[in-house]
Amino acid sequence: MPFDPAFAADGVDELLTCFVTRSRTKLTSDPPRTLRVTATDADGDWDVGIGPTGVTTLAGGSGRADATVRGSASDLYQALWNRPPAGRLDVSGDRAVLDLFLDRVHVRWS
């Protein structure tokens, strides 16, 4: 069941600007990589910079990205929070950057 686009975009924003940027993140890359995340049905565009010491996220996306993932806010929300999306995500560029994100980002509540 899809989530409301505004709700889902807020959830993506929370993950990308609050959770993955924490100092204890396992999401690192040397050389640095950039993943652009774009919601196609809501306000939402983020550049996630993955470097050797952690992550920075720029809302609004502005620079060059190594990979871009686009989809409905609901599908992005589910996929990035490690839940299978209901629909299809469009990935362009180096798919390994998205795979790195999905492999290393797992939000735990304990």
> What is the residue range of 91's domain?
5-104
Tokens linked to 26: 């396992």
Q: Report the percent of the chain where pLDDT is more than 70.
A: 96
CA–CA separation, 63 and 83 (whole Å) = 28
Between residues 109 and 8, the one the model is more confident about: 8
User: Alpha carbon of 84 to those of 40, 54, 64, 94: distances in Å?
Assistant: 18, 25, 27, 21
Closest by CA to 16, choosing from 49, 65, 42, 41, is: 49
Q: What is the pLDDT of residue 62?
A: 75
pTM confidence score: 0.93
Q: Is residue 9 in a domain?
A: yes
57-109, pLDDT tens digit by residue? Answer: 999 877 789 999 999 999 999 999 988 776 789 999 999 999 999 999 987 66
Q: Is residue 109 in a domain?
A: no
| Count of the separate structural domains present in the chain | 1
Let me know if 12 is exposed, middle or buried by CB neighbors in 10 A (0-12, 13-18, 19+): buried
Q: Report the percent of the chain where pLDDT is more than 90.
A: 80
Residue 58: give its domain's CATH number.
3.30.1050.10
DSSP type of residue 21: T
